[in-house]
Structures are given as structure tokens and as C-alpha cells.
Amino acid sequence: MRLTLRSSERRVKMIPHTLILLLMTIVAFGAGEVIKGWDEGVMSMNIGGKRMLFIPPELGYGSRGAGNVIPPHAPLIFEVELLDIRK
């Protein structure tokens, strides 16, 4: 299943590491293309739905991080909107 999402990051002062992401893309969920936190957080959404995803490190990039962008053990926060679903 491919979902079209719009996502933006919001900074939360209590969380030391945040990822800035502005995205409007088509992604396959449940197929290993995205972090597990996105798979779990988005699969129950309906078209037009909006949700704040608070993703702990173990459902994000864990101890490996993501290059120079996301440090190891970083929690992630995303505000997402589901725009479309394609099968």
C-alpha cells in the first residue's frame, strides 16, 4: 500500500535531538521502506487524518542513527497528514 503523506517536524524543547523534515512524497508502508515507528503510526490513519508521531529510538534509527542528520538514540517527532492511499 502506498500512502501520500505531508509531514513537518515540530521542535520540542524537552527532546535534545530533533529532525527537520518537510516532506510530501509517496511511500510504501508495511514494506520495510520506512522506520518502524512510521509503519506503526500511519497504518491506522484515514485519508485526511492528521497525527503527531512521537517515535522512540527503538522504533526509529536506534543506536546507529542516520548519518550526520540523526544521532544515535534520538527520539523523533513528526506531524503527519495522510493525503492519499494507493494500492
| Spatial distance between the Cα atoms of 76 and 38, rounded to a whole number of angstroms | 10
**CA–centroid distance for 62 within its chain:** 14
28's grid cell: 510504501
Query: How would residue 66 be classed by pLDDT, with cut points 50, 70 and 90?
Result: confident
Say which DSSP state 82 is in. E
Q: Is 26 strand, coil or helix?
A: strand
Please tell me the predicted confidence (pLDDT) of residue 70: 85
Q: What is the pLDDT of residues 7-61, one digit of tens each?
A: 554 433 333 333 334 455 667 777 777 889 988 888 888 888 888 889 999 999 9
Of the CA atoms within 13 Å of residue 66, those in its CB half-sphere come to 14
pTM for the predicted model, two decimal places: 0.68
Domains of the chain (ranges, CATH numbers) = 2-86 (3.10.50.40)
